[in-house]
Structure 1
Amino acid sequence: MPNQENTVRLLPDVAVHAQPHLAGALDWVGMADIQVPVHFDAGDGEVQRSSAKVGAFVNLKRPDKRGIHMSRLYLQVEQALSTQTLTSESLHALLRGFLDSHKDLADRACLSIRFEHLVRRPALRSENSGWRAYPVTIQASLTGDAFLLELGTEVVYSSTCPASAALSRQLIQDQFAKDFDVGKSLDHAAVLAWLGSEQGIIATPHAQRSVACLRVRPAQGAGFDLIGLIDRVEHALGTPVQTAVKREDEQAFALANGSNLMFCEDAARRIQKTLDADDRLNDFHIRVEHQESLHPHDAVAYASKGVVGGYGSTP
């Protein structure tokens, strides 16, 4: 009688049984929202560990095959992402592993990674600082030898409407004409007090929280310079949202808003100009959204580098 402990038990695998009546090739098959830790260097040399959700897919080019080997994708994702720092090279190798483990089934592979990266930001005037969590998306695909990589993030900022500012200034001028007789000499102290009163500043322009959604394709060897990308965009806009805020910081923020009046078109062009000058980016896609305080709808603008066949071909 055989030793039952040494007997290998065969487990059923219904996926190997084809269903001819449902034959057909599939664009993508895989898993979404795989939970795994990732290690990411945002460009400052400090590797940060974050909780990520990952999508892993291959195409199913064989119409006669019922399915792919999903466990193979999962185990490769878990092994690669939880032990290695994210780089272009490591993602390329991971996708190549997807295809090598499905060589009879697939010739295309793709990967998506979503997580948040914490960056400490200083206050505008005070000595304080605080953390900002920036969303990060990484998309990678491999078709034959064609490897494509994309980095995405969002910058949140304040936008003050130029038209509203002009209309507010006109109302303040009208109020000034009412409160100060044109035929009398102006008293400096009285004017100064008037400017500091609610009666004097009777109108203020509307401003709103706004979001710039960025997708960039780094040049070969450029790496994931997330912090550099964010810094350039926030500097171009001039009014990124703040973390720690004392009164002197809030006053500085008000000054920045007044000095950076912008429509959504202005914001998109500011970002476009600064990214277009960056030779570490092969292409980029910008979507700015001004979440209006005047309207129930939002003002939106798109911009890109203008590469033929690149992001600019679709919104």
Structure 2
Amino acid sequence: MDKARTIAKKQLPDKAQRHKLFGSVEPGPRTKPSKKSQMADLQNTKKDFLFDLDAVGIANVKHPITIASNQEPKTQTTIGTFEFSSSIEKSSKGTNMSRFTEQLQEFYQKGLVIDLKTLKGFTKNLAERLDQKDSEIKVQFPWFYERRGPQSGLSGMNHADITIRVKYDTEAGYTIEVSLSSLVTTLCPCSKEISEYSAHNQRGEVTITVSLAEDFDEESMDWKEWLLDAAESNASARLHPVLKRPDEKMVTEHAYENPRFVEDLARLVAADLYEMSFVNKFHVHCRNEESIHMHDAVASITYDKLQSESQEG
């Protein structure tokens, strides 16, 4: 019969002694006030602090949000990454950082649905709370949408990355900029042209950023759908979460029939955006992760429709 092994138990000092061992000290005398009304408020100091600040605030704030979509799933819960800011004149030392997250919590308790109406109300209220002439909010999140195989009809979830930036100014009003980044398939026209058979393809990323017209009505159309279609419909092929063999045959043949250089893709997306009446200004950036090169191929276009029309007029 094996003898039971005995393990000597180490005798540790108690927890208070361990904390003291690692640097903890007893609380010292408390001489400063503990009531907010009696505390110094350095951020509200008024002096000449040399320069106005374009923006001051907080970033990388993660918070649960709700997204409304015209596509399934029509109500989505996800995590938004927020950035809040306002300008500050040189007569003010700083801003009250806690007010940004206080207001975020207040809106969340009422049901934080991320749409343009809500964000416009948020920025206006925030400027008033901060006692500043402007405020800005930026939020980033993934937007999911159902995608079915073209032949099988089997569905799964795709997603695009969304960014919304809303700025409120007491004099200029609202500025709204939205962005969508989507993955697509591109097939090389040169490879198709020179090869006896086949052609190399790659995964591309299309990032679209647009300034929306002041009269844009989000209740009648979902800008996310329009930007997604501009990115996907001009690529060689769309991406799918579920592809059976008949689906794969259709997708690869469609890509072969629609070859695209990265330059082609940027110009075709720009043409769609140019025709969208609710878009005032746009920036398109396309990146192809080349499959037979070590580098990526990139192309971009920036176009201001209002400025171009005024110059032509």
Aligned-residue offset at 1:299: 1.6
For residues 306 and 26 of structure 1, the distance between their equivalents in structure 2, rounded to whole angstroms, comes to: 27
Identical-pair percentage: 21
Which structure 2 residues correspond to residues 39-50 of structure 1 after superposition, within 5 A?
39-44=66-71, 46-50=74-78
Select the residue among 203, 206, 222 that pairs with 2:217. Answer: 222
TM-score (norm 1): 0.77
Determine whether 1:93 maps to 2:88.
no
Deviations 1:173-212 (A, max 9, x none): xxxxxxxxxxxxxxxxxxxxxxxxxxxx5xx322111110
How far residue 294 of structure 1 moved from its aligned partner, in angstroms, is 2.9
| CA displacement 1:110-139 (0-9 Å, x = unmatched) | 111011111110012113111012111101
Distance 2:139 2:94 in 1: 23
Q: Does structure 2 conserve the Cα–Cα contact (< 8 Å) formed by 1:43 and 1:225?
A: no
Provide the TM-score with structure 2 as the length reference: 0.77
**Alpha-carbon distance between aligned partners in 2 of 1:165 and 1:221, rounded to the nearest angstrom:** 42
Partner residue, 1:28:
55
Q: Superposed, which structure 2 residues align to 1:1-315 within 5 Å?
A: 9-10=35-36, 12-16=39-43, 18=45, 23-44=50-71, 46-61=74-89, 63-81=90-108, 83-103=111-131, 106-144=132-170, 145-169=172-196, 201=197, 204-219=198-213, 220-223=215-218, 224-308=222-306
Structure 1 residue 13: Cα displacement: 3.5
| CA apart distance, 1:81 | 4.8
Check whether the contact 1:268–1:301 (CA below 8 A) recurs between aligned residues: yes
The C-alpha deviation readout for 1:220-245, integer Å capped at 9, x for no partner, is 23324312331343123241211101
Q: Which amino acid aligns with 1:134?
A: A
Aligned residue for 1:278, secondary structure, equals: coil
- RCO comparison, higher one (Cα < 8 Å, 6+): 1
Residues 96, 249 of structure 1: alpha-carbon distance in 2 compared, 3 angstrom cutoff: same
CA shift, 1:64, in A, is: 3.7
Q: Which runs of 5+ in 1 are unaligned?
A: 1-7, 170-200, 311-315
Unaligned runs of 5+ in 2: 1-33, 309-313
Per-residue Cα deviation, 1:81-123 (whole angstroms, up to 9, x for no partner): 56142232221221111211122xx322111101111111001
- Closer, same or farther: CA 235–16 of 1 in aligned 2, 3 Å: closer
Counterpart secondary structure, 1:251:
helix
- AA partner of residue 178 (structure 2): L
Name whichever of 39-48 and 118-127 sits farther off: 39-48
Deviation, 1:21, is 8.8
Alignment length (residue pairs): 267
| Partner Cα separation in structure 1 for residue 48 and residue 249 of structure 2 | 70
